[in-house]
Each structure stands twice: as structure tokens, then as C-alpha cells.
């Protein structure tokens, strides 16, 4: 659809669902965020290795000069090889795998949370575009209406029914309507450019949004919404996994205080003697006993717990605040009955006809028209605010 539009003349007609789907598939920020999964998977691969350290092969060769009274002096080549492997004996592999596994889960939830916020960002832009589109359409209607008003005032001027100043005023109102229409179109294009960026579309792709602002009240209570948010929010789940990661890292650091051992066989050649045996090496944790690493791990664990509790509290506040804003938007919207707004064009047409038939004066018509335009604009804004509030409530409650 996108490619055919890019090479053709027809714009891409997008619904809200289509726009969010394209953003999920093409947004560059989300693509970069998904690469974090590769880093987490690499950590898990490393943790699942049988040994964290490769075996070491050591060897030495020397020239030994022997001096014996009976045989005289001679050179003897001697040397040996030693193969060693470092072993973790404190249970480190278990804790390392736990930390890596929880970290992968955490990153998955972080990617899901980024996708969730991207969907809301696209939804917000889309709804504002719909708002701008409705206002542009209204502005075009006003321009048309005032063009006809200007023509009607010219006719009445020729008939000597009105002074020339009223004709001049109608021309000024027409030019002002045209200027307002250009300003609204500029705002629409700016918002459209932002949407095109979030969707990952090329600049030459023409986009047309298709949507109708509707009222869809929710039946859930704030308590139910808070409960849903605590169960579904991926950012909270990510912090919960972060807690598990830090707990595993603390256990890993404690286990690393137990020194690893190196062991393996060796072979040596000494003159005519072959020596085979084994060797073991154990570090002595006298000075460095992982004090700094343990303190750092404990600090990260404490910070993760605090962040988790803080987010839980913030989620409850955010959900209740979003619910309150939605109810205020519903109340505001109730002041503008949709049935009355649908008679907007019809009423203006009747007033224009009345002006043409000399039943109302220009000042009376312009006053009524401006009141109707303001009421219609407030209705569009109220409907947009309602839909934005509903989208925000779904975001905060973790409802897709």
C-alpha cells in the first residue's frame, strides 16, 4: 500500500489501527530498542556455557648442562607441558544463569513497554490530526460561506441597500477566513510530518488520515483499572524482573567470594626421566574479598526495590488522575450535544439566506456566525480531548 502510493498519485489512507501497526513494523526507534534483545540473549548464551574460562595450555623448554666426573659435560634438553582448567565451586553458574534469564525477560518487557508508548504517541498524533482535519474542513466551509456573503453584500451594495463600508467589512471577513484556513492547514502539515516520522515513512509518501471522533465511555471503576494496570503494565513487570536480576547478582557476587580453583595434568621430561602428575592452584582471598562488588550489587538491589515500589505508587496515582480527566472530558462534552452540532451548516445557510433576503443585517449575521464557529470549534476540541483522555487512560491502565 505504501509503495504503490509512493509511486502513484493517490495518498495513503490510514485508519488509527493501520497507523499504529505500521509504526510497530517500521519505527526506527523501536527497531533499535529491539536490538537490546540481542544483547540480553548474548548474556544468556555466555551464562549457559559449561565453563566460563577456557582451558590453559602452558609449556616450557630449557637447556640443562650436566657435569659429571665420569662422563664429562653434556647438554640436556628438558621441558614440560601443563593443561589447566578453572572450576567454579561456589555455585556461580546457577546464579549467573538465573540473572541472565531474568535479564532477558526484563528486556522483553522493556521492548513491549516501548511499543506500548509508541502506540500511544501515534494515537495522540493521529487524534490531533483528526482534530486539525476537522477544523480545516470547517475553515474551508467558512471561506465558502463568506465568499457567498461577500457576493451577497456586493449585490445589496449595487441595489443601494447597504453602505460601502459593509461590503468592505465582508471582504475583510473573507480574507480573515482564508488566513485562518491557511494557518490551520500549516498546523495540519506539521502534525502530519511528525506522524510520518513515527511511522517510518519516506517524506514523499502522501498520507491521509481516516477517522471519526466518537464517544465510547468506559464502565470500569478506578479500582478495577488500577488492578488491571498492576497486572498488565510491562514497565512494572520489567522492574519486577530487574529485582530478580539484582537478587541473583547479589547471590552470584557472594558465591564469587569463594575462590575458583585451577587444576589439570602436567608432563615433564627431565634428562631420561618422564614425569606425569597433576597440579592444583587456589587463590588466597586475603585482600580482595569482593567487598566493593558486593556493596555495588546490594546497592543495585536496593535501588531496584525502591524503583519498583515507586512505580507501583505512581501507577495508581496516574490511573486515578487519568480517570478523573476522562470524567471531566465527558462532562465538558455533554455541554455540546452532537445533534445540535450537526445542524451547524443548516443554521448558517438559513442565516445567509436571511441576509440575502434583507431580513438580517451584516453585523447580526457575522455575530451569529462567529458564535457558531466558536461553538463548533469547542465541540471539536471537546471531542478530541475526550478521545485523548480515553487513550491516556488505556495507556496508564495497560489496556491495549
Q: Which of 91-105, 141-155, 196-210 has the highest mean pLDDT?
A: 91-105
According to the 3-state scheme, what is the secondary structure of 248-306?
HHHHHHHHHCCCCEEEEEEEEEECCEEEEEEEEECCCCCCCCCHHHHHHHHHHHHHHHH
Asked if residues 220 and 228 have their Cβ atoms less than 8 Å apart, the reply is: yes
Residue with cell string 589439570: 264
**The pLDDT value given to residue 69:** 61
Distance CA 34, CA 104 (A): 12
Q: Give CA separation, 197 vs 26, 203, 371, in Å.
A: 10, 8, 37
Nine-digit cell string for 354: 436571511
Neighbouring C-beta atoms of residue 138, cutoff 10 Å: 19
Average pLDDT over residues 280-290: 90
**pLDDT tens-digit series, residues 70-114:** 666 767 778 899 999 999 998 999 999 999 999 999 999 999 999
Q: What mean pLDDT, rounded, does the chain reach?
A: 88
| C-alpha span between 244 and 233 (Å, rounded) | 17
- Cα(first)–Cα(last) distance of the chain, in Å? 25
Provide the pLDDT confidence category of residue 342 given band limits of 50, 70 and 90: low
Asked whether the predicted pLDDT for residue 9 surpasses 70, the reply is no
Residues in the chain: 400
Residue 195 φ then ψ, to 5°: -65, -40
pLDDT at 364 over 90: no
**pLDDT value, residue 359:** 81
Which pLDDT does position 363 carry in this prediction? 82
Task: State the CB neighbour count (10 A cutoff) for residue 81.
Answer: 14
Predicted confidence at residue 72, as pLDDT, reads 60
User: Residue 68 — very low, low, confident or very high, per pLDDT cuts 50/70/90?
Assistant: low
Q: Residue 177: pLDDT above 60? A: yes
Q: Is the pLDDT of residue 350 over 90?
A: no
Backbone torsions φ then ψ of 180, nearest 5 degrees: -60, -40
As a whole number of angstroms, the distance between CA 145 and CA 79 comes to: 104
Strands (E) in the chain, as ranges, are 12-14, 56-68, 72-87, 207-209, 261-270, 273-281
pLDDT band per the 50, 70, 90 thresholds, residue 146: confident
d(CA 60, CA 82): 9
- CA distances, 36 to each of 28, 29, 43, 117 (Å): 13, 12, 11, 17
Q: Residue 343: which residues within 8 A CB-CB, separation 6 or more?
A: none
Higher pLDDT, 38 or 197: 38
Q: What does the DSSP assignment read for 3-45?
A: HHHHHSSSPEEE-HHHHHHHHHHH-HHHHHHHHHHHHHHHHHH
Asked whether the predicted pLDDT for residue 271 surpasses 50, the reply is yes
Where residue 290 falls (left for φ over 0; alpha for ψ -120 to 50; beta otherwise) is left
| Superfamily of domain 2-55+91-259+292-397, CATH level 4 | Outer membrane efflux proteins (OEP) (1.20.1600.10)
Q: Which of 377, 372, 374, 388 is nearest to 329 (CA)?
A: 388
Neighbours of 399 (CB within 10 A): 13
For residue 78, list its beta bridge partners.
62
Q: Are strands 207-209 and 12-14 parallel, antiparallel or unpaired?
A: parallel
User: Which of the listed ranges 84-93, 203-212, 340-349 does the model predict with the highest average pLDDT?
Assistant: 84-93
Amino acid at each position: 500500500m505504501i509503495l504503490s502510493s509512493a509511486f502513484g498519485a493517490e495518498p495513503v489512507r490510514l485508519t488509527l489501527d493501520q497507523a499504529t501497526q505500521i509504526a510497530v513494523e517500521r519505527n526506527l526507534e523501536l527497531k533499535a530498542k529491539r536490538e537490546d534483545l540481542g544483547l540480553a540473549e548474548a548474556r544468556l548464551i555466555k551464562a549457559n556455557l559449561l565453563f566460563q574460562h577456557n582451558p590453559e595450555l602452558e609449556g616450557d623448554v630449557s637447556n640443562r648442562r650436566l657435569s659429571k666426573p665420569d662422563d664429562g659435560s653434556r647438554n640436556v634438553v628438558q621441558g614440560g607441558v601443563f593443561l589447566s582448567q578453572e572450576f567454579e565451586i561456589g555455585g556461580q553458574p546457577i546464579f549467573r544463569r538465573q540473572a541472565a534469564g531474568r535479564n532477558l525477560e526484563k528486556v522483553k518487557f522493556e521492548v513491549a513497554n516501548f511499543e506500548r508508548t509508541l502506540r500511544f504517541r501515534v494515537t495522540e498524533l493521529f487524534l490531533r490530526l483528526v482534530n486539525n482535519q476537522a477544523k480545516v474542513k470547517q475553515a474551508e466551509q467558512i471561506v465558502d460561506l463568506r465568499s457567498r456573503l461577500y457576493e451577497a453584500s456586493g449585490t445589496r451594495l449595487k441595489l443601494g441597500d447597504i453602505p460601502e463600508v459593509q461590503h468592505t467589512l465582508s471582504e475583510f471577513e473573507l480574507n480573515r477566513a482564508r488566513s485562518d484556513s491557511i494557518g490551520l492547514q500549516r498546523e495540519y502539515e506539521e502534525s502530519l510530518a511528525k506522524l510520518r516520522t513515527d511511522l517510518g515513512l519516506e517524506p514523499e509518501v502522501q498520507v491521509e488520515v481516516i477517522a471519526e471522533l466518537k464517544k465510547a465511555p468506559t464502565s470500569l471503576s478506578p479500582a478495577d483499572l488500577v488492578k488491571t494496570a498492576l497486572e498488565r503494565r510491562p514497565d512494572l513487570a520489567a522492574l519486577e524482573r530487574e529485582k530478580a536480576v539484582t537478587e541473583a547478582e547479589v547471590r552470584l557476587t557472594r558465591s564469587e567470594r569463594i575462590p575458583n580453583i585451577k587444576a589439570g595434568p602436567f608432563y615433564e621430561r627431565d634428562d631420561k626421566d618422564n614425569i606425569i602428575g597433576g597440579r592444583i592452584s587456589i587463590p588466597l582471598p586475603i585482600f580482595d574479598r569482593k567487598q566493593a562488588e558486593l556493596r555495588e550489587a546490594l546497592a543495585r538491589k536496593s535501588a531496584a526495590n525502591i524503583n519498583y515500589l515507586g512505580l507501583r505508587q505512581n501507577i495508581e496515582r496516574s490511573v486515578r488522575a487519568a480517570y478523573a480527566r476522562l470524567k471531566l472530558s465527558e462532562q465538558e462534552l455533554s455541554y455540546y450535544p452532537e445533534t445540535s452540532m450537526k445542524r451547524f451548516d443548516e443554521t448558517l445557510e438559513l442565516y445567509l439566506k436571511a441576509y440575502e433576503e434583507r431580513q438580517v443585517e451584516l453585523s447580526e449575521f457575522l455575530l451569529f456566525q462567529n458564535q457558531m464557529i466558536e461553538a463548533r470549534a469547542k465541540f471539536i476540541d471537546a471531542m478530541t480531548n475526550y478521545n485523548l483522555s480515553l487513550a491516556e487512560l488505556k495507556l496508564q491502565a495497560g489496556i491495549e
